[in-house]
Amino acid sequence: MAINFDLNDLQAFRAVVEQGSFRKAADIVRLSQPALSRRIEKLEDALGVKLFERTTRKVSLTQAGRGFMPSVERLLDDLDVALLGISEVASTRLGHVTVACVPSAAYYFMPRVVARYHQQFPRIKVKVLDSSAHDVLSAVVNGEADFGLSFLGTQDAKVDFEPLVQECYVVACRRDHPLAGRSSVTWDEFYQQDYISLDKTSGNRFLLDQALSSVVPQRPSICETRHVTTMIGLVEAGLGVAAVPLMAMPGPDHPILTRVPLTDPQVMRSVGILKRRGRTLTPAALELERLVVEMKVQPPTLSA
Report if residue 33 sits inside a domain.
Answer: yes
Report if residue 216 sits inside a domain.
Answer: yes
Residues 111 and 242 in one domain: no
Residue 50 has pLDDT above 80, yes or no: yes
Report if residue 1 sits inside a domain.
Answer: no
- HEC profile of the chain: CCCCCCHHHHHHHHHHHHHCCHHHHHHHHCCCHHHHHHHHHHHHHHHCCCCEEECCCCEEECHHHHHHHHHHHHHHHHHHHHHHCCHHHHCCCCEEEEEEECHHHHCCCHHHHHHHHHHHCCCEEEEEEECCHHHHHHHHHCCCCCEEEECCCCCCCCEEEEEEEEEEEEEEEECCCCCCCCCCEEHHHHCCCCEEEECCCCHHHHHHHHHCCCCCCCCCCCEEECCHHHHHHHHHCCCCEEEEEHHHCCCCCCCCEEEEEEECCCCEEEEEEEEECCCCCCHHHHHHHHHHHHCCCCCCCCCC
Residues 254 and 192 in one domain: yes
Report if residue 79 sits inside a domain.
Answer: no
Domain of 208, CATH number, reads: 3.40.190.10
Report if residue 299 sits inside a domain.
Answer: no
Residues 175 and 259 in one domain: yes
**The predicted structure's pLDDT at residue 85:** 64
Residues 101 and 233 in one domain: no
The whole-number average pLDDT for the span 122-130 is 88
Residues 137 and 281 in one domain: yes
The last residue of one of the domains, among 74, 96, 127, is 74
Residues 172 and 249 in one domain: yes
Domain of 31, CATH number, reads: 1.10.10.10
Residues 124 and 212 in one domain: no
**The predicted structure's pLDDT at residue 7:** 81
**The predicted structure's pLDDT at residue 300:** 45
Q: What digits encode the pLDDT tens for the residues 153-167?
A: 667 788 999 998 888
Q: What is the span of the domain harbouring residue 219? A: 167-269
Residue 21 has pLDDT above 60, yes or no: yes
Residues 245 and 181 in one domain: yes
Q: What digits encode the pLDDT tens for the residues 66-103?
A: 888 888 877 877 777 676 666 554 555 567 889 999 98
Q: What digits encode the pLDDT tens for the residues 210-247?
A: 999 999 898 999 999 988 989 999 999 999 999 999 88
Residues 262 and 174 in one domain: yes
109 versus 102: which is more confidently predicted? 102
Residue 45 has pLDDT above 60, yes or no: yes
**The predicted structure's pLDDT at residue 304:** 40
Residues 137 and 51 in one domain: no
Number of separate domains in the chain: 3
